[in-house]
A and B are shown apart, each in its own frame.
Chain A
C-alpha cells in the first residue's frame, strides 16, 4: 500500500504536540509528519514526493518566524506537484489582508481558528483526506475508517452517474 501523509506545521512545540495528539487516530493507517517551520515542512515534503509517496493534507499555522503559513501555502499552490494537496490554515491571528491572500492566492480549502475543537479538526482533516484520496485516484477501501463517509458516498455516486 502507498504511503499517504498529513503534514502539520506549527512553530510552537506545545501547540504542535496538541494538534498531533488530536489527530492520533489517523496514524493507524497514514503518516503524520510534525514540522516546526515552513522550511522543515518543505524538506519533508520533498522527501515524501521523492519516494513516490503522497502528501494529502497540510495543516499549517500562519504566524511563524521566517516564513508565514500563508506564504508557505502560496508557494505550494504554485507548485504543480502539490496541486491536489488539501490546505488547512489553523491560526489565532490573521489580519484581514492575510485572510484575503490565503483565499485568493494560496487557494486554501479551509480556515480554522484557534483555539480549535478536536471534533472540528478531526472532521476537517477527514473531509480533506477523503477529497484527496478520490482526486488522486487512490484505492479508498483501506482508508474507509478514516474518511468522511457522506462525502465519499456522494462523490462515488456522482462519479458513477456520469
Chain B
C-alpha cells in the first residue's frame, strides 16, 4: 500500500481520536496571528480549513516568509514537542481559518498510545515542510537569476542611451555643418548657369543606378568619342540627353564645371543622407533604452515598426522584408515598448530562417485595424515551431539557438509577452513547416 495512503489513513484516525473535540476548535480571520516567534505555546494545531503563512525574522528584524501551511498540516509542532515550548515561527492567517488543537495538559497526551499514534504523522509533517522550503528556495534561485538577467539588460539599455547621447552630439555637428556647407556653397560659390543642377542634385542625389549610368556612359562614349572616365562622370550627372549635348558642345571647360558641380552636390547629398541615417539609428536606440516610466504619448504604431526596421537593418540586409501598413492608427503608449516588441519578433524570425539556411528568406509584416483593436502579423518562412515547444517559447531563458554570437536586446519572446500583456493585448503564434506567424492584438485605447 502506498505511503501517501497510509499517511492519510493514519491522519484520519488521529483526527477522530484527538482532534474532534468541539470545544477545541479555533476560528481565525484573515490577518489574525496564531503564533508569535519566541513566545510560549503549548498547543498542537491541525488545520481543518484555510491557509496560513509562516514567517521568520531576518537580521533587520523584518519578517520573511518561509512556508505556507494548508489543510491537514500541523502547526506548533516544534513548541509542542520541544522542552522550550516556544514557537520559532510567527504564523498569520492568509484566509479565514478553522483549526482544531490539543494541549499538552490534555489527558490524551498522557495516553500510552500517544507517541505511536503521532510519530509517523509528525515525521511526515516535517518531511512535507522540508520539501516546501526546498521548493521555495528553488523558486527564489530562479527569481534571482531572472533579476540578474533583467539588470544586465537595464545596464545595456543605459549604456546604449549614453552612447546615443554622445553620438548625437557628434552627428549633430556633422549634420548641421553639412547643411551649412550646402547653403554657403550654393549661394556663394556656384555660378548661376549651373546653380539649378547643383540644387536639384543636392536634394535628390544622383538619380541613376549603376546599370543606367553604365548605359548612359556607353552611349556618350560611342556618340561623342569621349574617354571612358569623362563619359562616366557625365553619365552620373542628372542631366538629360539634350542638356548633356549642350555641355559637351561647350567643350572641356564646360564639362569640367559640370562635373565639379554635380560631384560636389552628390557628395554633399550623400553626407546629409548618412548623417540623417545615423541620427535616425541613434534616436531609435535612445527610444529603446528610454526609461520605462516615461509618460505615455500618442504613438503611431506604423512608426514604431519603421523604427524597429532601422535598428535591425544590419541583420535583415540579406532578407527580403515586405511591409504592409494598412492603418495610421495611434495608441497611448511608450514608443520604445513597441519598437522592442517588433525588434524581438523580427530578429527571431531572421534567426530561425538563417539557422534553417533558407535560400530565399522572407519576412512579411502586416499592420491593420479592426473595430476594437489593431493587429500586427509577422510571418517568416523559417523552420517553424514544433508543437512540443510552442507553449514554452514565451518563457524566459527558453532558447533554441544552437550556437553563434547573438546580441540580444531583451529576453526575447518573454519580454515581448510582458510588454504586450501590459497593454492588455494578446500574442499568439501559428506555425507550420516553412511558415510561422506571430499575431499581436493591441486593443485601441
Interface, chain A (partner B; CB < 8 A): 11, 13-14, 16-18, 21, 27-28, 31-36, 40, 44, 63-66, 68, 93, 95-97
A65-B318, A68-B318 are known contacts. Are A36 and B209 too (CB-CB below 8 A)?
yes
From A24, which residue of chain B is reached at the shortest CB distance? B229
Residue ranges of B at the interface with A (Cβ–Cβ < 8 Å): 205-206, 209-211, 213-214, 228-229, 232, 263, 266-267, 270, 273-274, 314, 317-318, 320, 404-405
Q: Which residues from B are CB-within-8-Å of A66? A: 318
Interface centre among A17, A32, A35 (most CB of B within 10 A): A17
- In the bound complex, what is the Cα–Cα distance between A133 and B237 (angstroms)? 32
Q: In the complex, are the beta carbons of B274 and A14 less than 8 A apart? A: yes
A14 and B404 alpha carbons, distance in the complex (Å):
31
Question: In whole angstroms, how far apart are the Cα atoms of A64 and B228 in the complex?
Answer: 28
A13 touches B318 (CB 8 A): no
Chain B residue numbers with a CB within 8 Å of A95 are 404-405
Indicate whether A13 sits within 8 Å of B274 (C-beta atoms), given known contacts A44-B214, A65-B320: no
In Å, the complex CA distance between A1 and B270 comes to 36
Q: Cα distance A52–B72 when bound, in Å?
A: 95
Chain B residues touching A, majority SS: helix
A28 touches B229 (CB 8 A): yes
3 interchain residue pairs of minimum CB distance: A14-B270, A27-B229, A63-B317
User: CB < 8 Å: which of A36, A44, A63, A96 contacts B318?
Assistant: A63
**Distance of B138 from chain A, by nearest CB (Å):** 37
Contacts of B267 in A (CB 8 A): 17, 21
Residues on the B chain within 8 Å of A36, using CB: 209-211
Residue of chain B at shortest CB distance from A28: B229
Residues in A whose Cβ lies below 8 Å from that of B232: 27, 32
Q: Please, how many angstroms separate the alpha-carbon atoms of A14 and B318 in the complex?
A: 19
A93 engages B274 (CB within 8 Å): no
Q: What are the residues of chain A within 8 A of B404 when measuring CB–CB?
A: 95, 97
Q: Which residue of A lies closest to B230 (CB)?
A: A27
Sample 17 A-B pairs with CB under 8 A, ordered by A number: A13-B205, A13-B210, A14-B205, A14-B273, A16-B210, A17-B206, A17-B267, A28-B229, A34-B210, A34-B213, A34-B214, A36-B211, A63-B314, A63-B318, A68-B318, A93-B314, A97-B404
Least CB separation from B319: chain A residue: A65
Q: Are B228 and A31 in contact (CB under 8 A)?
A: yes
B317 touches A65 (CB 8 A): yes
Complex-state Cα separation, A110 to B294, whole angstroms: 49
How long is the Cα–Cα vector from A96 to B404 in the complex, in angstroms?
9
Min Cβ gap B361→A in Å is 10
The complex places the Cα of A33 from the Cα of B228 at a distance, in Å, of 10
> Which one of B206, B210, B232, B318 has the highest number of Cβ atoms from chain A below 10 Å of its Cβ?
B210
Q: Which residues of B contact A34 (CB under 8 A)?
A: 210, 213-214
Closest residue of chain A to B277 (Cβ to Cβ) is A14
> Contacts A44-B214, A64-B318, A95-B405 known; A17 to B229 CB distance under 8 Å?
no
What's the Cα separation between A118 and B154 when bound, in Å?
39
B314 touches A40 (CB 8 A): no
Q: Please give, as numbers and ranges, the residues of chain A lying within 8 Å of B229 by CB-CB distance.
A: 27-28
The complex places the Cα of A11 from the Cα of B313 at a distance, in Å, of 13
Within the complex, the shortest CB–CB distance from A62 to chain B, in Å, comes to 10
Query: How many angstroms between the C-alpha atoms of A32 and B214 in the bound complex?
Result: 10
- Our pick among B206, B214, B228, B317 for the contact of A13 (Cβ within 8 Å) is B206
The residue on A at minimum CB distance from B270 is A14
Nearest-CB distance from A3 to chain B (Å)? Answer: 9
Q: Which residues of A contact B263 (CB under 8 A)?
A: 21
CA distance A36 to B213 in the complex (A): 11
Roughly how many angstroms separate A14 CA and B211 CA in the complex, as a whole number?
A: 15
Q: Is the CB of A40 within 8 A of B228?
A: no
Which residues does chain A contribute within 8 Å of B318, judged by CB atoms? 63-66, 68
Bound: A96/B405 CA distance, A:
9
Please measure, in the bound complex, the distance between the C-alpha atom of A17 and the C-alpha atom of B262, giving whole angstroms: 12
CA distance A13 to B228 in the complex (A): 20
B211→A40 contact, CB < 8 A:
yes
Q: How far is the CA of A44 from the CA of B218 in the complex (A)?
A: 13
> Across the two chains, which residue of chain A brings its CB closest to B314?
A93
A13 — which chain B residues lie within 8 A by C-beta? Answer: 205-206, 209-210
What is the bound-complex CA distance between A95 and B318, given in angstroms?
14
Chain A nearest CB, measured from B313 CB (Å): 10
Residues of A within 8 A of B210 (CB): 13, 16, 34-36, 40
Give the Cβ gap from A60 to chain B, nearest Cβ, in Å.
13
Q: Which residues of A contact B270 (CB under 8 A)?
A: 14, 17-18
Residue of A nearest to B272 (CB): A14
Query: How far apart are B287's CB and chain A's nearest CB, in angstroms?
Result: 23
Most central of B206, B209, B274 by chain A CB within 10 Å: B209
Bound-state CA distance A21–B262 (Å) is: 13
* Interchain CA distance A14-B269 in the complex, whole Å: 9
* Bound CA span A11–B229, Å: 22
Shortest distance from the beta carbon of B170 to any chain A beta carbon, whole Å: 14
A131 to B263, CA, bound (A): 32
B104 to A: closest C-beta gap in Å: 73
Q: Report yes or no: A64 in contact with B266, Cβ–Cβ below 8 A.
A: no
Using A13-B209, A65-B318, A68-B318 as known contacts, say yes or no to A33 and B214 having CB atoms under 8 A apart.
yes
